[in-house]
Structure 1
Amino acid sequence: MSHHPIEPVPAHEPPYYAAVFTSIWTDDDGEGNGYGETAERMEELVQDIPGYLGMDQAHTPGGLSITVGYFRDADALKEWRDNVEHRAAQQRGRAEWYERYTLHVAKVERSQGFKRERD
């Protein structure tokens, strides 16, 4: 898992794409079976994709996990989808880590942000 400061991905000029991956872990939440290492590797790998804009993640104590990856265009998203290591991690996720998941891909047509200024 990433150890970056908690901060949302900034708004980008539309259009761009968002891939929303929502999952429920199996009873074994990945501790001890490579999930953490694989997640860190995926974070490293995706940053090498031209057109990758960033990622937001949230996890609940009950095991719900949401990851939203942002990509400049469909080609960047396709490159990530087709990455060999990412494909292998997907297969492992279905075999070991996830009870269920959904993936939604959306074209972002509006984007804005807010940040409180501190003194």
Structure 2
Amino acid sequence: MNNHSEAPVEAYEPPYYVAVFTAVRTQEQSDYSETNARMEDLVKDVPGFLGMDHAQTPGGLGITVGYFRDAGALAEWRSNAEHRAAQKRGQVEWYRSYTLHVAKVERSYGFTRAQSPAAG
């Protein structure tokens, strides 16, 4: 599972599912950081959660990609009561607009450059 280091979530053996949440936030961000951290802690308890990647542009567009082993894991996260409450608050306060795309991954691969030995 990604610990928000500089590496993306690893490529898993397909099939698995991704939920791609893309949002533009409002100026009102009261409690957003705390709620976001709570959601990240909660989703880790969902059996079948594989990891998460985040990206933010300087202009305010944010993207979060959640990876799930199967549709059941994704459905469990979608129906979590705290997550549902955070979604509602997001619509009222934190997001100017957002989209959610859910897809079944059929192909997955990755690359990691080998570490170079330190120059002596």
Q: Tell me whether the two structures share a fold, i.e. TM-score over 0.5.
A: yes
Deviations 1:18-62 (A, max 9, x none): 00000001133x2xx100000000000000000000000000111
Residue equivalent to 2:41: 44
RMSD of equivalent CA atoms: 1.3
Q: Structure 2: where are the runs of 5+ without partners? A: none
CA distance in 1, matches of 2:112, 2:91: 38
Q: Structure 1: where are the runs of 5+ without partners? A: none
Q: Which consecutive aligned stretches of 4+ in structure 1 deviate over 3 angstroms post-superposition?
A: none
How high is the TM-score relative to the length of structure 2?
0.92
Structure 2 residue 50 is the aligned partner of structure 1 residue 59: no
Bigger radius of gyration: 2
Residue equivalent to 1:88: 85
Residue equivalent to 2:14: 14
Structure 2 residue 10 is the aligned partner of structure 1 residue 27: no
CA distance in 1, matches of 2:34, 2:7: 22
